Amino acid sequence: MFEKLDEIKAQDAEFVKVLVSMFMEQGPELYQDVRKACSTSESEKVVAASHSLKGVCMNLGFNELADICKDIEEQSRNGELNSACALLNDLDVKYQEVFNGLASYQ
């Protein structure tokens, strides 16, 4: 799950700390934006929030989390908001797994 970070760390350990710090700061807000948009049934906001979180995750190599965000984004965009928001449990589990695993990179 952290292969990309490990590759970067081998080249520049301090840069990984910066990347992880940025994710630890921005990730919770992006994650909450997806949850909040689902709770208010605002499909456009679900699309935007899941797209933003997906991008951050892809940049850091959190592919499984990015894939869940992609599914939420696409389903919301296709008018399947209930199906998209049903994926929040998967998002919760994977997000916590990533967030908790990053502690060793700080």
Give the C-alpha separation, 70 to 66, whole Å. Answer: 6
* Tokens read off for 96: 């916590």
pTM for this structure?
Answer: 0.92
- CATH code (residue 32): 1.20.120
Tens of pLDDT, residue by residue over 38-86, are 999 999 999 999 999 999 999 999 999 999 999 999 999 999 999 999 9
Residue 11: the pLDDT is 94
The angle at the Cα of 35, spanning 95 to 66, to the nearest 5 degrees, equals: 40
Structural domain that includes position 61: 3-105
Could you give the number of structural domains in the chain? 1
**pLDDT tier at 31 (50, 70, 90 boundaries)?**
very high
Residue written as token pair 């910066």: 18
Share of the chain above pLDDT 90, in %: 94
The angle at the Cα of 20, spanning 100 to 65, to the nearest 5 degrees, equals: 60
